[in-house]
Amino acid sequence: MEILIENRQNHHKLSKQKIRTTAKRILNALDYPEAQLSILIVDDDQIAELNQTYLNHTGPTNVISFPMQEGPFADITPGLLGDVVISVDTAHREAMAAGMEMPQRFNALLIHGILHLVGYDHVHSEEEAAVMEEKSDALMDLLTKEA
């Protein structure tokens, strides 16, 4: 399992080792023990640029996933799940609004992003959204118990 983490922001202090450990737990629980994953940590300006460039959406968002197991080149690197990009500025605001710690919100966004990479979706149907939410809750419970 290879997990690459790049932190391109300096507003919030984060432990790459804790993020890597959390990502490994998530991937193992999803039965992807040999998967490769890239995690990019950015600020709101950076994610807003990615959001506009790749999704044609204006403004910052909390997490964007770029799956590598879809499309005509998916077979080139079958172990590479893709990239998860998280804005810690947005994660921090959302955590404060929900009355939770920022690392907890970051983990929820990491779970959400990874679930998208392995095929879960919440956009196209309420049924799929419910399945994704249930899986997300189960993974958060797992992380909480292992902490």
Dump pLDDT digits (tens) for 12-46.
999 999 999 999 999 999 999 999 999 999 999 99
**What was the pLDDT predicted at 123?**
78
E-assigned strand segments in the chain? 2-7, 36-42, 63-67, 80-87
pLDDT higher at 76 or 86: 86
Distances (CA, A) of 1 to 21, 32, 132, 138: 11, 9, 23, 22
- What mean pLDDT is predicted for residues 86-113? 97
| Residue 57 φ/ψ region, left for φ over 0, alpha for ψ in the -120 to 50 degree band, beta for the rest | beta
Following CA atoms 79, 83, 84, 85 in sequence, which dihedral angle do they give, to the nearest 10 degrees? 170
C-alpha to C-alpha distance for 43 and 101, rounded to whole angstroms: 18
| Reported confidence tier of residue 147, pLDDT bands at 50, 70, 90 | low
C-alpha span between 37 and 83 (Å, rounded): 6
Q: Is 57 helix (H, G, I), strand (E, B) or coil?
A: coil
Average pLDDT on 81-98 reads 97
Residue 88: give the domain boundaries: 2-146
CATH number at residue 104: 3.40.390.30
- The tally of domains found in the chain comes to 1
Which tens digits make up the pLDDT trace of 112-132? 999 999 999 887 788 888 999
Q: How far apart are CA 122 and CA 129, in angstroms?
A: 4
CA separation for the pair 50, 43 (Å, rounded): 11
Taking residue 119's Cβ as centre, other Cβ atoms within 10 Å add up to: 13
Tokens found for residue 11: 């507003």
- Give the model's pLDDT for residue 42: 98
Q: What percent of the chain has pLDDT over 70?
A: 99
Q: Is 102 helix (H, G, I), strand (E, B) or coil?
A: helix
